[in-house]
Amino acid sequence: MIRLLLTTMVLITMSTPGAQAFCGFYVAKADADLFNEASKVIMARHENRTVMTMANDFKGDVKDFAIVIPVPTVITKSQVNVGDSKIIDHLDAYTAPRLVEYYDENPCNRTLYETDMMTAGAPMALRQSAEAKESAQALGVTIEESYTVGEYDILILSAEQSDGLTKWLNQEGYKMPKGAEKVLGSYIKQDMKFFVAKVNLDKFESSGYTYLRPLQVAYESEKFMLPVRLGTLNAKGDQDLLLFTLTKQGRVEPTNYRTTKIPTGDDIPLFVADEFGEFYKAMFAHNVKKENMKTVMLEYAWDMSWCDPCAADPLPASDLRKLGAWWIEGANTYPPGRPVPMQRRMIMPPGGGAVDTYVTRMHVRYNAETFPEDIMLQVTEDRENFQGRYVMRHPYKGEASCEEAGSYYSELQGRFEKEAKTLANLTGWDISTIRRKMEANGQSFDIKAKIDSTPWWEQMWD
Amino acid sequence: MLAIKNNIFSDPRHFQIITLGCLLFLLLIWNDFAPTLDVVALTMASTVITQFLFFKFLKVKSNDYRSPFITALSLCLLFKTNLIWLYPVIGAVAMATKFLIRVENKHIFNPANAAIVLGLFFVPHHVWVSPGQWGSAIWLSFALISFAFIVLNRAGRADISLFFLTCWFSLLLARALWLGDPLSIPLHNAQSGALLIFAFFMISDPMTTPNHRGARFLFAFIVAVIAFILQYSFQVREAIFYALFFTCMGTPVLDYFLKANQYQWRKI
């Protein structure tokens, strides 16, 4: 009989490297080195209501920050909110690919203990004067709305012609990337409006924040899509996008691009624990290459009420509502400073009970060539759970001198070899380097000889 | 069995079964969101049994079960639900529409298309179609096979597939030109596997399309225009299926005004 016992869990989180925010594009006022290589966007969608939250990891001088995002409707002041980046980080951690660790028991004692260690972590003041309005009008640009929310000055523009809009934005000091005019023109003809935001320096300074908070926009529209075309214009090379969706029904999928699941459930060598971020990045890149960068990778799809194993607690209902899950009634409050229960295998959201929300985490690496069209999305009824999960199995390192131990050690050799091959296949890493690292990390391919030659006191202190 | 083997090229339905079967096989081994084998089995069983029951009830002396196979394969490739029991129900509904909704000895709707639309309409919270599940690699091989199918069946009714695709691509191209979009966008849209399954295995159903060639062109044009409007103005992701369903209702009218001989599947 195999008995499973959970002893410890360790959580290591890593921030998404190189995340620069927003699926729109930055337009610089100065010649600052601006680019957006990665974005984190959360879309909550039910019926025809969408709430889009855009994480802002802008690293440059805030006075240089400006974005233009096509939106399907005019957005009034009350439809815009400045959100809390901690909630986004929490969602990122909760949905992140995870590493699970098991320990083999003494082969002479046929009880298997299990320890889960999880390494969560991803690989990862506008001119509002009459003069501005007049000049806008002359160029066929209408300032539909103009307001300040939090540290952002926001304009909602509609336009008749893309050249007028481009000219006006340039006049106002926005540095438009090459090729923007054509793409803007396409959006204008599709009756899209433009959400233009920049930082109000006075408000930013008085807010006391040292970073830019996420922008949230709520609107009603049949259009459920993520505009990525503008974002490809000023990016250097390929871009990464992490798209999280919250729905009442189920998984969200693109309708004009194929979705593939990220490889999951594989046993991988122990040394990966120290370089999980590198491993995930390499595996992601390897898969992107395999699919010719033409698919959307699914990293997580789960009912928000629970997780197993948990990379982080499920988000409380109150936080989900803040991210746009408006259908959740009577949101519980999240007690500040609540200790995180790390010992449980399955963690229910604070306050308990189901939250009626399904989360999908999609990761896309794209450029204008492989993803020429905006990502059109649909909510499906698929509630099958999926997570990126990788397993490390620690061999038994103690003394074992029974009959069963012999077959255990010979099995172990095959297991290590398989792990090495799996890792090479997943990441494209060189297998001899993998083997060398495994040897150095205690996964000797001749583990029996090594254990036998190690004095018992060294094994004890190890 | 021997007869089928000898006459494998005599009936376009054999091509359909082989092509759809290959596609399903590819989907099963290669796609992360492929139907499970029990879904395939349930759908097949349900369409075959429904056809058997209708034959028995209507006292039809036939052992022809190619149509339920084609319908089941089409459903497995396109139709999705989170309720496992809905697969056989939809399969049965598909075959039932073939026997129950008829005018002048022709059924009105392509069974699989009708079942998808009825599913989307009556159980919208449990049904969906994943048009994005096909990559472009499979698209090319599929396009070639389908093209061969048309060439080999030039006497049949496959002309409607080409009519439809021509109209659809023209509309996509016109839209791209009007928007000033790069041509990579309409090309990308054209590479949809669901679109090709629709064009070669649904709209091309000779039993539900007009008998007259000119009427078929008009039919294909109307389907393309309705689908285009639904997709781009109303953001309906399953636009082509709805468009075919609605246009099929007009087939008896087109047949009435534009007379031509009714299509007969070649006898084995």
As a whole number of angstroms, the distance between CA B196 and CA B146 comes to 8
For the record, the structure tokens of B250 come out as 């007009």
**Residue A9 pLDDT greater than 50, yes or no:** no
Chain position carrying tokens 């979009």: B181
Chain A residues closer than 8 Å to B81 by CB: 381
**Residue B74 pLDDT greater than 60, yes or no:** yes
Instruction: Answer for the pair B75, B91: CB distance below 8 angstroms, yes or no.
Output: yes
Instruction: Answer for the pair A257, B133: CB distance below 8 angstroms, yes or no.
Output: no
As a whole number of angstroms, the distance between CA B172 and CA B33 comes to 28
Question: Which residues between 25 and 44 in chain B have a beta carbon less than 8 angstroms from any beta carbon of chain A?
Answer: 32-33
Say what the pLDDT of residue B173 is.
97
A263 DSSP 8-state letter? P
Average pLDDT, rounded, for chain A:
79
Neighbouring-strand partners of residue A364: A241
E strands in A184-341: 193-199, 215-220, 225-226, 239-247, 252-254, 258-261, 295-303
Choose the closest CB to A185 out of B82, B180, B182: B180
- The pLDDT-based confidence of A125 (bands split at 50, 70, 90) is very low
As a whole number of angstroms, the distance between CA A447 and CA A416 comes to 10
Give which of A296, A369, A373 to mutate to test B binding, by max B Cβ within 10 Å: A373
First to last CA, chain B: 11
As a whole number of angstroms, the distance between CA A284 and CA A262 comes to 8
Cα B193 from chain centroid (whole Å): 12
Tell me how many degrees the CA angle A249-A250-A254 measures, rounded to the nearest 5: 120
Question: Which residues between 153 and 192 in chain A have a beta carbon less than 8 angstroms from any beta carbon of chain B?
Answer: 162, 182, 185-186, 189-190
Say what the pLDDT of residue A3 is.
29
E strands in B52-133: 79-81, 102-103, 106-107, 127-129
Choose the closest CB to A253 out of B132, B134, B235: B132
- What residues contact residue A180 under an 8 Å CB cut-off, 6+ apart? A25, A166, A230, A233
As a whole number of angstroms, the distance between CA A35 and CA A20 comes to 8
- What residues contact residue A295 under an 8 Å CB cut-off, 6+ apart? A257, A258, A259, A260, B135
Q: B130–A255: do the CB atoms touch at under 8 Å? A: yes
**Residue B95 pLDDT greater than 90, yes or no:** yes
pLDDT (average), residues A430-450: 83
Chain A residues closer than 8 Å to B192 by CB: 256
Q: Number of H helices and number of E strands within chain B?
A: 13, 4
- The pLDDT-based confidence of B152 (bands split at 50, 70, 90) is low
Q: Does B247 touch chain A (CB under 8 A)?
A: no
**Residue A380 pLDDT greater than 80, yes or no:** yes
pLDDT (average), residues A315-328: 92
**Short-list A417, A359, A364, CA closest to A256:** A364
Say what the pLDDT of residue A234 is.
64
pLDDT digits (tens, 9 = 90+) for B165-200: 999 999 999 999 999 999 999 988 888 888 888 988
Q: B237–A376: do the CB atoms touch at under 8 Å? A: yes
pLDDT (average), residues A227-241: 79
**Residue A1 pLDDT greater than 60, yes or no:** no
Q: Does A410 touch chain B (CB under 8 A)?
A: no
Say what the pLDDT of residue B154 is.
56
Looking at residue A363, its amino acid is H
- The pLDDT-based confidence of B159 (bands split at 50, 70, 90) is confident
Crossing angle (nearest 10°) for helices B193-201 and B239-248 = 20
Least confident span in A23-32, A439-448, B201-210: A23-32
**Helices in A224-370 by DSSP H: which ranges?**
276-290, 317-322
Q: Does B164 touch chain A (CB under 8 A)?
A: no
**Residue A162 pLDDT greater than 70, yes or no:** yes
**Short-list B193, B187, B23, B168, CA closest to B160:** B168
Of the segments A111-115, A137-141, A356-360, which one has the largest average pLDDT value? A356-360
Say whether A448 sits in a helix, a strand or coil: helix
pLDDT digits (tens, 9 = 90+) for B204-250: 888 888 888 889 999 999 999 999 999 999 999 999 999 999 999 98
**Residue A429 pLDDT greater than 70, yes or no:** yes
Q: Determine how β-strand A258-261 pairs with β-strand A295-303.
A: parallel
Say what the pLDDT of residue A330 is.
61
- The pLDDT-based confidence of B156 (bands split at 50, 70, 90) is low
- The pLDDT-based confidence of B52 (bands split at 50, 70, 90) is very high
**Residue A448 pLDDT greater than 90, yes or no:** no
pLDDT (average), residues A223-232: 88
Chain B residues closer than 8 Å to A261 by CB: 32
Neighbouring-strand partners of residue A118: A11
**Residue A147 pLDDT greater than 70, yes or no:** yes
Choose the closest CB to B235 out of A222, A259, A372: A222
**Short-list A85, B78, B104, B83, CA closest to B94:** B78
Residue B234 Cα distances to B175, B208, B229, B230, angstroms: 15, 26, 7, 5
Distance from CA of B74 to the nearest CA of A (A): 18
As a whole number of angstroms, the distance between CA B169 and CA B229 comes to 14
Strand order of the sheet with strand A252-254? A225-226, A375-379, A252-254
**Residue A177 pLDDT greater than 80, yes or no:** no
What's the ipTM?
0.89
As a whole number of angstroms, the distance between CA A273 and CA A279 comes to 9
pLDDT digits (tens, 9 = 90+) for A264-314: 989 999 898 888 888 988 999 999 999 989 999 999 999 998 888 888 888
Question: Which residues between 99 and 158 in chain B have a beta carbon less than 8 angstroms from any beta carbon of chain A?
Answer: 125-128, 130-136
Helix (H) or strand (E) holding A360: strand A358-366
Choose the closest CB to B125 out of A249, A261, A291: A249
Q: B180–A255: do the CB atoms touch at under 8 Å? A: no
For the record, the structure tokens of A438 come out as 């495994």
- The pLDDT-based confidence of B131 (bands split at 50, 70, 90) is confident
